[in-house]
C-alpha cells in the first residue's frame, strides 16, 4: 500500500464506495421506496467521480504539468463533481414530482437499505473528516472536491436513514409516504446547493 496518506485515502474511499451501488441495487428490488432508488443512482454517479479524482491525483503526482494544465484539471474535477451532484438532484426532483402526482405508500423490506445508509453515515463521515483535514493542511483541489462530495454523501445518508426508518416504524402508512417524499425533496435541494457550489469553485483563482 502506498505511503502517501492522501493517495491511500482516495483508494480506500473508492474501495468502500464500490460496494454501495451493488448492495443498494439489491435493496432496491426489496422495496418500492423512491428514496431507495435515488440512493442507488446517487451512489453510482458519485463512484465514477471518485475514480476520476484518483486518476487526476495520480496524473499530477509527477509534477511535470504546467500551471495551465493543472488549472484545466482543477476546472474539470470541480465541474464534474458538481455536475454529478446536480444530475442526481434532477433525478430526485423528478421522483419528488412524480410522487406528488401519483401518491403511493412505500412498502417492502427496508432493512438492507437502512443498514447500508447507517454504515454510510459512519464511513462517509470518516472520509469527509480525512479529506477536510488534508485540504486544511495543504490545499489541493482534489482533496477539496472530494471533501465536499463526502460531506454531501454523509448528509444524504442521514436523510435516507430517516426516510427508510419511517417505513419501518410506520409500515403502509401515509406518514411514511410523506417522510419518504419530503426526504427525496430535501436530498434534491441539498445536492443542488452542493453541486453549484462545486461548479462555482472551478472558476475561482483560489477555491
166-184 burial string, b = 16+ CB within 10 Å, else e? Answer: bbeebeeeeebbebbbbbb
Whether residue 119 is contained in a domain is answered as yes
Look at residue 127 in the predicted model and tell me its pLDDT: 93
Whether residue 144 is contained in a domain is answered as yes
Higher per-residue confidence, 88 vs 36: 88
Place of cell 401518491: 103
Q: How many domains does the chain have?
A: 1
Lowest average pLDDT, out of 46-50, 63-67, 184-188, goes to: 63-67
Domain that holds residue 23: 5-60+72-201
What angle (nearest 5°) sits at the alpha carbon of residue 11, between those of residues 131 and 77? 60
Look at residue 34 in the predicted model and tell me its pLDDT: 65
Q: Quick count: other Cβ atoms within 10 Å of Cβ 120? A: 23
CA distance 109 to 27: 8
Q: Work out the percent of the chain whose per-residue pLDDT is above 70.
A: 92
Whether residue 143 is contained in a domain is answered as yes
List of residues 6+ apart from 101 with CB closer than 8 A? none
Look at residue 32 in the predicted model and tell me its pLDDT: 62
Whether residue 107 is contained in a domain is answered as yes
- Of the pLDDT bands very low, low, confident and very high (cuts 50, 70, 90), residue 192 is very high
Whether residue 206 is contained in a domain is answered as no
Closest by CA to 78, choosing from 165, 197, 205, 169, is 197
Whether residue 207 is contained in a domain is answered as no
Residue 30 C-alpha from the chain's centroid: 22
Amino acid at each position: 500500500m502506498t505511503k502517501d496518506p492522501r493517495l491511500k485515502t482516495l483508494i480506500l474511499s473508492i474501495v468502500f464506495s464500490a460496494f454501495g451501488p451493488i448492495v443498494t441495487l439489491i435493496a432496491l428490488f426489496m422495496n418500492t421506496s423512491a428514496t431507495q432508488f435515488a440512493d442507488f443512482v446517487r451512489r453510482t454517479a458519485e463512484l465514477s467521480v471518485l475514480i476520476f479524482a484518483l486518476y487526476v491525483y495520480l496524473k499530477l503526482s509527477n509534477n511535470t504539468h504546467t500551471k495551465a494544465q493543472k488549472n484545466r484539471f482543477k476546472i474539470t474535477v470541480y465541474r464534474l463533481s458538481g455536475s454529478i451532484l446536480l444530475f442526481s438532484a434532477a433525478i430526485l426532483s423528478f421522483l419528488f414530482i412524480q410522487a406528488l402526482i401519483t401518491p403511493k405508500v412505500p412498502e417492502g423490506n427496508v432493512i438492507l437499505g437502512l443498514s447500508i445508509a447507517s454504515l454510510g453515515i459512519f464511513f462517509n463521515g470518516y472520509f469527509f473528516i480525512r479529506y477536510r483535514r488534508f485540504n486544511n493542511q495543504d490545499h489541493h483541489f482534489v482533496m477539496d472536491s472530494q471533501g465536499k462530495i463526502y460531506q454531501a454523501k454523509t448528509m444524504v445518508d442521514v436523510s435516507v436513514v430517516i426516510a427508510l426508518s419511517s417505513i419501518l416504524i410506520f409500515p403502509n402508512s401515509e406518514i411514511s409516504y410523506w417522510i419518504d417524499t419530503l426526504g427525496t425533496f430535501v436530498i434534491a435541494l441539498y445536492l443542488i446547493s452542493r453541486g453549484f457550489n462545486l461548479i462555482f469553485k472551478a472558476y475561482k483563482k483560489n477555491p
